[in-house]
Amino acid sequence: MDHLLIRGGRRLEGQVAIEGAKNAALPMCVAPLLTDEPVRLHRIPHLRDVDTILSTISSLGKKITYDGDTVEISCGGALRSEAEPRYVQQMRASFLILGPLAARLGHAIVPLPGGCTIGRRPVDLHLEGLRAMGARIEEFPDRVVVRAEKLHGARISFSHPSVGATEHLLMTAALIRGETQITNPSKEPEIGDLISLLRKMGAHIVVERMSIRINGSEHLHGAEHTIIPDRLEAGTYLLAGAITGGEVQVTGVEPEHLRSVIEVLRKAGMSITESSETIRLLAEQRAEPGHIVTAPYPGFPTDLQPPLVALLCLGKGESLVEEQVFESRLAYTHSLNRMGGRIKVTGRKAIIAGVNTLVGAKVPAPDIRAGGALILAGLAAEGETVIYYPEHIDRGYASIEQKLALIGARIERGE
């Protein structure tokens, strides 16, 4: 069975070059559905999720041309309005094709994404927004059918600053004449990056304090864009340096995108130095205990909650981590407890009593970020750790065993 084998106990030391952001790349691979002209994306990360989204839009009629870490998405013939279930069910971000297809073709059929290990993950905010724009949507247990002969601008207000719903409606509104206003949008850096691509494609977008205004156009053109660095990959490697008592520098990053993470790491006693595009962490002590609450940007990112909990397992004293974004994103902690962690979960709260050592174990990676947390625990544990289902980890971390081995980890992939 595919697995990662880690022999723990090594300090990590060295530099890690950070990829383009997965969560910016995915919507940007959907945006070319809005035009027949070529869109070139530089710094595309080599990840399973990117392969999946590119297969999805290729199955809809787009032509994909790779050139190193640049991908060109161009017209490959008439667009299809129905996506194949196997892609959307593999990865929920494929659901974002619904609005752009409906705006382009006047109709679309897209499978409903499933929930996953971190929560139910409904798409009600996506559908409400599309309906406000004039789309007629029929919901079936496994798919949604959209009729959208004449979409129009709308005023949309989110009860929750959903990242995916913001991206979905931004892209759809970009192709609609008239103004759409989204109040309480997500403010993640990946949204800003998508906005800069859509502007290059011809959409007029104004970002205000509590809303985004989009004046779309019936014709958008091709563009070229370099994707922002992946703050989640960068944060994971900094936490790997912290948990192993090492010294790790991440390069090609935007420190501002990691402000809340840097603050938490400094409060945990890590010494951090920044330059315009690097962050260096030196761990001279075990992590101080803390109380961290995940929140939409600029709060502490939910996607770094699992790697942070791994660090706090070997921290001093007792820490409290509250997961405020997803309703069930603490299930993975039982695997950390099997490695000697002492984590008590009640609802969205995890109380972590720091221990002196973790011990290697055989554990499953349930999703991308929990998989990252288990790797970090294995790097610091005594003995061997085997992590099954590494394909979940490959969805969000490119060449993780190679990058970790380059900074001293004893990690290899086996069958």
SS3 of 231, please? helix
CA 136 vs CA 49, 109, 150, 154, 204: distances in Å: 29, 12, 10, 14, 25
Q: Binding marks (x or -) toward ligand EPZ, 346..385, rule CB under 6 A?
A: ----------------------xx----------------
What is the C-alpha to C-alpha distance for residues 79 and 1, in angstroms, rounded to an integer? Answer: 39
Q: What residues between 165 and 224 interact with ligand EPZ by CB under 6 A?
A: 165, 186
Q: Binding marks (x or -) toward ligand EPZ, 332..351, rule CB under 6 A?
A: --------------------
Integer Rg of the chain from CA: 21
At 225, list the tokens: 């864009």
Give the closest residue to 194 by CA, choosing from 208, 184, 205. Answer: 205
34, 174 contact by CB (below 8 A): yes
110, 148 contact by CB (below 8 A): no
**Does residue 131 bind ligand EPZ (CB under 6 A)?**
no
**Does residue 121 bind ligand EPZ (CB under 6 A)?**
yes
Whole-number minimum distance, CB 329 to ligand EPZ, in Å? 8
**Does residue 160 bind ligand EPZ (CB under 6 A)?**
yes
Whole-number minimum distance, CB 247 to ligand EPZ, in Å? 26
Q: Which is nearer to ligand EPZ, 96 or 283 (CB)?
A: 96
Which one-letter amino acid corresponds to residue 367?
D
Choosing from 4, 133, 135, 163, the residue that interacts with ligand EPZ (CB under 6 A) is 163
Whole-number minimum distance, CB 264 to ligand EPZ, in Å? 16
Q: Binding marks (x or -) toward ligand EPZ, 384..413, rule CB under 6 A?
A: ------------x-----------------
Closest residue to ligand EPZ, judged by C-beta, is 164
* β-strands 384-388, 362-364 pairing: parallel
Would residue 29 show up in a list of annotated catalytic residues for this protein?
no
**Does residue 148 bind ligand EPZ (CB under 6 A)?**
no
Task: Please choose, out of 2-10, 97-105, 124-132, 265-273, the segment that lies near ligand EPZ by the rule CB under 6 A.
Answer: 124-132
Choosing from 100, 164, 290, 390, the residue that interacts with ligand EPZ (CB under 6 A) is 164
Choosing from 325, 336, 365, 400, the residue that interacts with ligand EPZ (CB under 6 A) is 325
DSSP 64-78: EEEETTEEEEEE-SS
| Geometric angle at alpha carbon 297, from 296 and 300, rounded to 5° | 80
Q: E strand or H helix at 94, and its extent?
A: none
Q: Tokens 């977008």 correspond to what residue?
A: 205
What is the C-alpha to C-alpha distance for residues 265 and 288, in angstroms, rounded to an integer? Answer: 9
Q: Binding marks (x or -) toward ligand EPZ, 77..106, rule CB under 6 A?
A: ---------------xx-------------
**Distance from the Cα of residue 76 to its chain's centroid:** 28
Choosing from 119, 134, 269, 364, the residue that interacts with ligand EPZ (CB under 6 A) is 119
Q: What residues between 254 and 293 interact with ligand EPZ by CB under 6 A?
A: none
Contacts with 199 (C-beta within 8 Å, 6 or more apart), sequence order:
205
Choosing from 39, 54, 57, 123, the residue that interacts with ligand EPZ (CB under 6 A) is 123
- Dihedral, CA of residue 92, residue 96, residue 101 and residue 107, to nearest 10: 70
Q: Which is nearer to ligand EPZ, 40 or 369 (CB)?
A: 369
Q: E strand or H helix at 239, and its extent?
A: helix 231-243
Number of residues that bind ligand EPZ (CB under 6 A): 26
Q: Which is nearer to ligand EPZ, 368 or 381 (CB)?
A: 368
Whole-number minimum distance, CB 19 to ligand EPZ, in Å? 13
117: left (phi over 0), alpha (psi -120 to 50) or beta: alpha
Task: Please choose, out of 76-84, 122-130, 194-202, 237-245, the segment that lies near ligand EPZ by the rule CB under 6 A.
Answer: 122-130
Q: Which is nearer to ligand EPZ, 202 or 372 (CB)?
A: 372
372, 411 contact by CB (below 8 A): no
Contacts with 2 (C-beta within 8 Å, 6 or more apart), sequence order:
388, 389, 390, 391, 413, 414, 415
Task: Please choose, out of 160-168, 264-272, 276-284, 308-316, the segment that lies near ligand EPZ by the rule CB under 6 A.
Answer: 160-168
Q: What residues act catalytically?
A: 116
Residues making contact with ligand EPZ (CB under 6 A)? 22-23, 26, 92-93, 119-126, 160, 162-165, 186, 302-303, 325-326, 368-369, 396
